Amino acid sequence: MHRSALSILNRRRRGSDLRASRRFVRWTAAAMCLGLLAATGELASSNPPLTNVLVLYSNGRLLPANLEGDRGFRQAVGSLDAARVAPSYEFLDAPRFSGPAFESIYAAYLRDKYASQAPQVIVAVGEDALSFIVRHRDDLFPRIPIVHAGVGQSFLSSLAQLPADIVGAPADFSFEKTIETALNWHPNARRLIIVTGASRQDHALEAQARSEVTRFANRVQVEFLTGLPTSAVLEALSELGSDAVVFTPGYFADGDGRVFDPVQSVTAMAAASNAPLYGPFTTFIGVGVVGGSMPSFEAIGRQAGEIFHQILEGTDPGRLRLPRAVPQTLHVDWRQVRRWGIDEAKIPADAVVHFKRPTLLEAYRTEAVLLSLLVVLQGALIVGLLIERRRRRSAEETERAQRDELARASRLAMAGELTGSIAHEINQPLGAILSNADAAELILESGGDRNGELRNILADIRRDDLRASEVVRSLRSLLARHELEHRPFDLGDAARDVESLLRAEAEERGVTFTLAVEPIPLPMVGDRVHMQQVLINLALNGMDAVAGVPEDRRRVDVAVGKPGNGMALVVRDRGHGILPEHRPRLFEPFYSTKNGGMGLGLSIARTLVEAQGGRISVESDGSTGSVFTVTLAAGDRGTRRVEEPA
C-alpha cells in the first residue's frame, strides 16, 4: 500500500491528483491512529489492573534462606498470578543495618519510592521485616494487608495483638527437636556446646536457645559460646572431644564485629569442629552440619504464596483459610552420618536424607537382582558342567578299561588261532637245538679234535635259543594285559616282528603270504601292540577269505608304507570279496560274514585304529577279493632324530 501510495504520489503530480493523494494520506493516517487507539483501548479494557506486591525481606538479597523462600513463594503464586502481579523486593539487610535512625531513613525511602505505586499487598519475610512494617505501617501503607512469612510462633505471641489484616502461617523455628535429635544420636555426649553471635538478631536466637535448652540440663552439661570472635570459636570447637555435640543457629556477626551470613559462619565452624555440629536451618545442610529439625524455607515461601493467592482472589484477610503452621522436618546430611558413625537405625523413616548416594543395590535394584540371578544360574551351570565332566571322565575311564579288556580278549583269541603256527615257530629252533646237541655228543664220543665243529655247533645252539625266545617274547607282549600306549615306534619294525608268525600260519593253511615294508623309517606315535593286533587280525581274515579258492588265488599280501603325509597298512586278499550289502556294517560289533564268526574282530580293529587317530576302510568289488586299508598319521613331526653316521 505504501508503494502504491507513493507511486500514486509520484505519478499524479498534477493539482487534482495531488489533492486526491493528500486526502488519501490523511485518511490512512487517521485510520491507523484509530486502530491504535482501539487496540490500546482493547488492551486496557480486557486486562485487570496489575497488583503491586511489596515483598520485604529482613536480611540481604542473597541470603540463601531468602532465595529458597522466594522459590517456594513463586511456585505457589504460579504463572497465572505472575501475569497479574507486579512484585517489588526490598531488603532491610539486618543485622547489618538496624536501629531507629536507619529505620526512619528506610521508611522514608519506601514511602517516597512507592508513593505512586502503592503496594496492594505486603509480604513481610522474617521477624525484623514484620516488626518494621508493624511499626511503620500507618505511616507507609495503612490498611494494606500484610502476609508474614518465616516468623516464629513465639515472636508472634510476643507482639501485641495483631490486627486482622496481618496474616500468615507461623513457622516453627524451635531448636528443641534439633537438640533432642543430637543428643539421641550421640548417646555418649556429656557436653552440649551452643554457639551464637553478637548481633541483635543473634541475641534473640541466643535467648531462644537458652530458654529451650533448660530441659536438657539434666542430661548434658550445657555451655554457651556467645559473641566470641570467630577465631576463638573455631579454636574452642577444634578442641572438643568425643563427649561433645554442638548446636548453633549460626550468627550474623561475631565478637569482632565481622558480619556473616549465618551459613558462612556455620561452614567455618563445621570445618573446625572436632565434634558433630547441628543446626536448625535447611540452608545449613550440606556445609558440614549433621542435620537438624527445621521448616523448609521453600515451604515457608510456598505457604506465604498460598495465602497471598487467596488475598489476590479477593478473599477478605479476616476470613482467610489459613494453613497450619509450617512444621519441622528432620533433615540430615548422610555424609555426616557416616563421618560421625551415627547409628543409621536411629534415623526415622520420614527424615529427609541429603547427599545419600543410593547404593548400587538401591539404584539398580532390578539390574542387581537380574545380575545376581544370572550369577547364581551361571554358578549352577558351572557346577552342573563340572559334575557332568566328572561323570564323563569316569565313563571314559570305564570305557577305556573295557576296551583294553576286549582288545586283550581278542588278542588271546587270535593267539589261539595262531597256536599251530606259534608251535611251529618255536619247534623249529628247538628242533635244531636238540639235533645240534645230539650231534655234539656223538662228535665228543667219537674222540679226536673236532673243536672247530663243536664251536660252530654251540654258536648255532645259542642263536636258535635266542630265536625261540624272541618268539616267546613277542608272544608274551601280544598276550599280556596292555593299556593303551602312546609312544613312538616304527611301524615297519612292528610289522616285521609278527611276520614269522603270520608266515607260519599261512604255510599251515597253504596260503601264500607276503609282507612288503617300504625301506624307509616309518615313525608313528601310538600303541605298537595294538597295531600288531590289527595287522594280525586283518591278515588272518584274509587267510580265512581265501580258504576255499583255487591255489593261484590263495594269497594274502600286506604292504606297509608312507604314501604322502600319512602312513598306510594295506592287507589285500584274493578271496571272494565282500558283498555290497555287507560293506556298511562290516565294522559293526557282532556282525560277521563267516560261519561261526563272532563278528568282533573288525570292530575291535576299528576301535584300536581310531583310538590312535587313524582310519580303517575296505574296498571290495564283491568277487575278486578285498583290500583293507589302515591310514595313520606319521609321527615324525617335531621329533628330533639323531642322525646315524652313514
Partner 1 sequence: MNIPPLIHVVDDDDSLRTALLRLLESAGYEARGYASTGEFLLQPPLDRPGCVLLDLRLPGPSGLDLQDALAHHGVGLPVIFLTGHGDVASSVRAMKAGAVDFLAKPVERQTLFEAIDRALQLDARARTNRLEAESLRERFASLTKREREVVDGIAAGQLNKQVAHELGMAERTVKLHRAHAMEKLGVTSAAELGGLAERFRRLSEE
Nearer to partner 1, 264 or 436 (CB): 436
- 23-30: long-range contacts (C-beta < 8 A, 24 or more apart)? 28/1
Tell me how far apart the alpha carbons of residues 139 and 160 are, in angstroms, rounded to a whole number: 18
Q: How far is the CB of 542 from partner 1 (least distance, A)?
A: 18
Q: What are phi and psi of 352, to 5 degrees?
A: -90, 115
Question: Considering beta carbons, is residue 238 or 514 the nearer one to partner 1?
Answer: 514
- Beta carbon nearer to partner 1, 93 or 460: 460
Give the pairing type, strands 567-573 and 555-561: antiparallel
Cell of 548: 576255499
Please classify residue 118 by burial: count the beta carbons closer than 10 Å to its beta carbon, then call 0-12 exposed, 13-18 middle and 19+ buried.
middle
Q: Provide, rounded to whole angstroms, the least separation between the CB of residue 564 and partner 1.
A: 34
Q: How far apart are CA 326 and CA 346, in angstroms?
A: 24
Instruction: Return the half-sphere exposure (C-beta side, CA atoms, 13 A cut-off) of residue 31.
Output: 6
Please state the closest distance from residue 436 (CB atom) to partner 1, in A.
4
- Residue 379 or 431: which CB sits closer to partner 1? 431
Please return the burial class of 335, using the count of CB atoms within 10 Å of its CB with bins 0-12, 13-18 and 19+: middle
Spatial contact of 94 and 132, defined as CB atoms under 8 Å apart: no
In the complex, what is the shortest distance from the CB of residue 515 to partner 1, in angstroms, rounded to a whole number?
Answer: 15
Identity of the residue, 186 or 555, whose beta carbon is nearer to partner 1 in the bound complex = 555
Q: How far apart are CA 418 and CA 404, in angstroms?
A: 21
Q: Which is closer to partner 1, CB of 408 or CB of 424?
A: 424
Residues counted in the chain: 646
C-beta of 223 vs 507, nearer to partner 1: 507
Shortest distance, CB of residue 623 to partner 1, whole angstroms? 28
Which segments of 447-513 does DSSP mark as H helices, in order?
Answer: 451-479, 491-497, 499-509
**Per 3-state DSSP, what percentage of the chain is helix, strand, and coil (rounded to 5)?**
55, 15, 30
In the bound state with partner 1, the residue whose beta carbon lies nearer, of 264 and 427, is 427
Choose between 426 and 570: whose C-beta lies nearer to partner 1. 426
Q: How far is CA 474 from the centre of its chain?
A: 65
- With cell 513457622, the residue in question is 171
Q: Which residues lie across from 56 on neighbouring strands?
A: 90, 124
Give the residue among 126, 413, 350, 107 at the shortest CA–CA distance from 252: 126
Helices (H), 175-280: 176-185, 200-213, 230-238, 262-272
C-alpha cell at 635: 609321527
CB of 598 to partner 1, least distance (A): 24
CB of 468 to partner 1, least distance (A): 10
Q: Please, what is the minimum distance in Å from the beta carbon of residue 429 to partner 1?
A: 7
Three-state DSSP state, 142 = coil
CB of 455 to partner 1, least distance (A): 13
Instruction: Check if the beta carbon of residue 227 is closer than 8 Å to that of residue 202.
Output: yes
Closest distance between partner 1 and the C-beta of residue 514, in Å? 12
Long-range pairs for 80-84: beta carbons < 8 A, 24 or more residues apart: 81/308, 81/309, 81/312, 84/48, 84/50, 84/51, 84/312
Cβ at position 607, least distance to partner 1 in Å: 33
Nearer to partner 1, 286 or 420 (CB): 420
Contact positions vs partner 1 (CB under 8 A): 420, 423-436, 438-439, 442-443, 446, 453, 457, 460, 463-464, 467, 507-508, 510
Shortest distance (Å) from residue 537 CB to partner 1: 22
Select 429 or 542, whichever has its Cβ closest to partner 1: 429
Residue 238 or 435: the one with the smaller Cβ distance to partner 1 is 435
CB of 597 to partner 1, least distance (A): 22
Q: Cell digits for 158? A: 510476643
With 0-12 / 13-18 / 19 or more C-beta atoms within 10 angstroms meaning exposed / middle / buried, residue 591 is middle
SS (H, E, C) 44-73: HHHCCCCEEEEEEECCCCCCHHHHHHHHHH
For partner 1, give the closer residue by CB, 219 or 463.
463
Is residue 247 within 8 A of residue 175, CB to CB? The reply is: yes
- The residue written with cell numbers 476470613 in the block is 319
